[in-house]
Amino acid sequence: MSLGSIVRTPEVIVIGAGTFGAVLASLLDRPPNGLRVLLLESGFLERTEHIQNPPALDMTVPPPFLKPSGAEDTSNGGGWWRLPWCSDSPSHGLAYCVGGRSLFWGASCIWPTLDRDNTRHPWPTQVAQELNTRYLPAAAELLGLTQLWPHFTGQLNTLLRGRLLAAMSTHHLSGVETLDRHPEHPAAQATRQVKQIRRVRRAMDSNANHLALRLHLPMAIEVRGDTDDPQLLRFSSAAVLAEQLRDATDNLDLVPGCHVIRLWTKNGRVTAIETTRGLIAVPVRTLVVLAAGTIESTRLVLDATAGNPSAALVGRGLTTHLRSNLTVRLSLSAEGCKCPGGSGAAALQLRGIRREPRRPDIRFHHQITAYGVGSLPDEEAKRLWVNTPRTDVESLDHALRTNPRDLVVTVASAAEMSGDSENSVTLLDEHDEFGARRANVRLAPSAVDMRTWDALDDSADATVAVLASGHPYEVLRAGRFTATGGSTTTGPEERREPLGCGHHEMGTLRMGQDPRDSVTDSNGRIRALSNLYIVGPAIFPALDSAGPVLPGIALTLRLADHLRHAVSRGGKSHVRQANL
């Protein structure tokens, strides 16, 4: 659609049709009381489905790279990925396309703990309460977390879960929380779905307590097809948007290929949006929502509020998660899995807390995913791989080469950062290809973070030892499985992800009750600008080790409700499109 053909006055302009922007625009468009929405997106609508359903192996995330200040502009791996900011930590950048990173994400949704007493930046009380009681359950529903998928009941899952439960009952896993302190699984939380819960409980082993369901990893996966041959579809926001556009209420205009360069402001409000397709005037009553990813949204706010004393905190307090990955190959010995032909898959979680004297508690978790291809023919093994969470092209290769009695297990671990380091997003004096000041990301771990990372890795090693149940295992190192002789696994450089690669950046536009300690109010509106809102992890005051998508979608639902009330209807404003 050309910009010139848009004649209706938008009530809300959303910038960025990625994970949260596409969902927000779709929600706002829905009846009753759908709003007129203009959605500006730098990329294009080329694919609506997650890259793993059906798998598009040539479309995985390209390797990260380091872009120091002053370096030549390079696209990151071609295709949709591009790194627009400079940083001291390697990064993949952004997927410039409708759906954004939701086309690539892992789809795991650890339940967040928001109302914590001893956190550095607490969530506003009312926001935490509304998210816990209303919006997180609604987000779980939207993402498909309340649906149960076949891995829950498979024998491989049961075997590995049993080993974890046994170790937890004898306190063999240091820092790991007791089962009753793991949050309920969203399927069990959805009390409306009583039948579903009964089915889950029936499906679990007769001996196991239903609490064990708490060890199952919530995944944003929709199960279609019959039980013998299920099709698992990972959530993508592009699919949500495409469906909404198909329903054609005529209230929603998507403008792809429209990169936002800067926001123009006057008298404390955004008055125009400068884009690669021209300048879009913002009518007096129109609200603008930035959903361009944490760093890009922060860049635009930094530029728009430069020199404004009430925006002094913009860009400060950047955090992400400390992340490590450990992949091992276990042998399914005779006492092991009775899965047909040794095949199957599993997805589990373990939650933990690390404590240091006189410091807020630090939360961490391990996501455990496993598959064994058994004696399946290649095509079926490939399908099993596709259906297993947290996979990449390299692991497909391993899947196809795995011995029928072997099991490949990945423990992906994440922990909170302490927030001690002066991590930030700032603006450089150098300009990008559009003439905008480039963002600079400073992201380094503090001494406390390094101690947390050591503890996280030790805990992952202990978890693997429990899963192997005393049997020898091999560790994936530089693309090869290597025998370890039992206890030693991999060094930090082999398993730790650079901080810039996590895609969990947050906190640079954090919300709060106190203007002295926050950039946005409890609705995510920039305090310094009356009509500019933010959606996405940039406004999280803090997050435990949970991924950003579940709390981000919960906030998106809450913002959609707020905007419906905030938009004042019946104004005489018009869209003026200068220079189009």
Ligand X SMILES: Cc1cc2nc3c(=O)[nH]c(=O)nc-3n(C[C@H](O)[C@H](O)[C@H](O)COP(=O)(O)OP(=O)(O)OC[C@H]3O[C@@H](n4cnc5c(N)ncnc54)[C@H](O)[C@@H]3O)c2cc1C
Q: Whole-number minimum distance, CB 238 to ligand X, in Å?
A: 9
| CB of 98 or CB of 204, closer to ligand X | 98
Kindly state whether residue 235 participates in binding ligand X, applying the rule CB under 6 A: no
Contact stretch for ligand X (CB under 6 A) within 95-103, 201-209, 318-326, 395-403: 95-103
The Cα 63–Cα 519 span in angstroms is 33
The Cα 143–Cα 554 span in angstroms is 10
**Tokens representing 81?**
């990925």
Kindly state whether residue 525 participates in binding ligand X, applying the rule CB under 6 A: no
Q: Whole-number minimum distance, CB 257 to ligand X, in Å?
A: 10
Kindly state whether residue 531 participates in binding ligand X, applying the rule CB under 6 A: no
Q: Residues 52, 87, 91, 108: which binds ligand X (CB under 6 A)?
A: 108
Backbone φ and ψ for 200, nearest 5 degrees, come out as -60, -45
Kindly state whether residue 93 participates in binding ligand X, applying the rule CB under 6 A: no
Q: Residues 81, 104, 135, 364: which binds ligand X (CB under 6 A)?
A: 104
C-alpha to C-alpha distances, 434 to 4, 140, 261, nearest whole angstrom: 21, 38, 7
Q: Whole-number minimum distance, CB 113 to ligand X, in Å?
A: 15
| CB of 42 or CB of 402, closer to ligand X | 42
Kindly state whether residue 547 participates in binding ligand X, applying the rule CB under 6 A: yes
Q: Whole-number minimum distance, CB 314 to ligand X, in Å?
A: 16
Q: Whole-number minimum distance, CB 34 to ligand X, in Å?
A: 21
Given a contact cutoff of 8 angstroms between Cβ atoms, the answer to whether 28 and 55 are in contact is no
Burial of 448 (0-12, 13-18, 19+ CB in 10 A): middle
Kindly state whether residue 536 participates in binding ligand X, applying the rule CB under 6 A: yes
**Tokens representing 535?**
């959606």
**Tokens representing 521?**
């109010």
The Cα 444–Cα 548 span in angstroms is 20
Contact stretch for ligand X (CB under 6 A) within 16-24, 142-150, 241-249, 332-340: 16-24
Kindly state whether residue 260 participates in binding ligand X, applying the rule CB under 6 A: yes
- How many other β-carbons are positioned within 10 Å of the β-carbon of residue 395? 19
Kindly state whether residue 40 participates in binding ligand X, applying the rule CB under 6 A: yes
Which residue's entry shows tokens 């807020």?
A: 360
Kindly state whether residue 62 participates in binding ligand X, applying the rule CB under 6 A: no
Q: Residues 47, 50, 67, 101: which binds ligand X (CB under 6 A)?
A: 101
Residues across the chain: 580
| CB of 44 or CB of 208, closer to ligand X | 44
Q: Whole-number minimum distance, CB 32 to ligand X, in Å?
A: 26
β-strand partners of 265: 270
Kindly state whether residue 45 participates in binding ligand X, applying the rule CB under 6 A: no
Q: Residues 24, 36, 43, 352: which binds ligand X (CB under 6 A)?
A: 43
| CB of 352 or CB of 548, closer to ligand X | 548
Contact stretch for ligand X (CB under 6 A) within 152-160, 288-296, 326-334, 350-358: 288-296
Count the residues of the shown chain that bind ligand X, applying the rule CB under 6 A: 37
Reference 415, options 461, 360, 352; nearest CA is: 352
| CB of 221 or CB of 376, closer to ligand X | 221
Backbone φ and ψ for 318, nearest 5 degrees, come out as -65, 130
365: helix, coil or strand? strand
At residue 309, what is the residue type? P
Kindly state whether residue 372 participates in binding ligand X, applying the rule CB under 6 A: no
Q: How far is CA 294 from the centre of its chain?
A: 12
Which residue's entry shows tokens 């506003």?
A: 124
At residue 150's C-alpha, the angle toward residues 544 and 136, to 5°, is: 30
Terminal C-alpha separation, the chain: 13
The Cα 127–Cα 513 span in angstroms is 10
Kindly state whether residue 105 participates in binding ligand X, applying the rule CB under 6 A: yes
Q: Whole-number minimum distance, CB 258 to ligand X, in Å?
A: 6
Q: Residues 216, 277, 503, 527: which binds ligand X (CB under 6 A)?
A: 503
DSSP 531: T
Q: Which of residues 291-310 bind ligand X (CB under 6 A)?
A: 291-293, 296
Kindly state whether residue 366 participates in binding ligand X, applying the rule CB under 6 A: no
The Cα 270–Cα 263 span in angstroms is 6
Kindly state whether residue 112 participates in binding ligand X, applying the rule CB under 6 A: no
The pairing of strands 37-40 and 12-15 is parallel
Kindly state whether residue 41 participates in binding ligand X, applying the rule CB under 6 A: yes
Kindly state whether residue 342 participates in binding ligand X, applying the rule CB under 6 A: no
The alpha-helical segments, DSSP class H, found in 277-414 are 294-304, 378-387, 393-401
Kindly state whether residue 20 participates in binding ligand X, applying the rule CB under 6 A: yes
Q: Residues 549, 557, 559, 575: which binds ligand X (CB under 6 A)?
A: 549
Kindly state whether residue 106 participates in binding ligand X, applying the rule CB under 6 A: yes
Q: Residues 3, 10, 14, 18: which binds ligand X (CB under 6 A)?
A: 18
Rg (CA), the chain: 24
Kindly state whether residue 94 participates in binding ligand X, applying the rule CB under 6 A: yes
Contacts of 135 (CB under 8 A, 6+ apart): 554, 555, 557, 558
Q: Whole-number minimum distance, CB 256 to ligand X, in Å?
A: 9
Binding site for ligand X (CB under 6 A): 15-21, 40-43, 61, 94-97, 100-102, 104-108, 259-260, 291-293, 296, 503-504, 536-537, 547-549
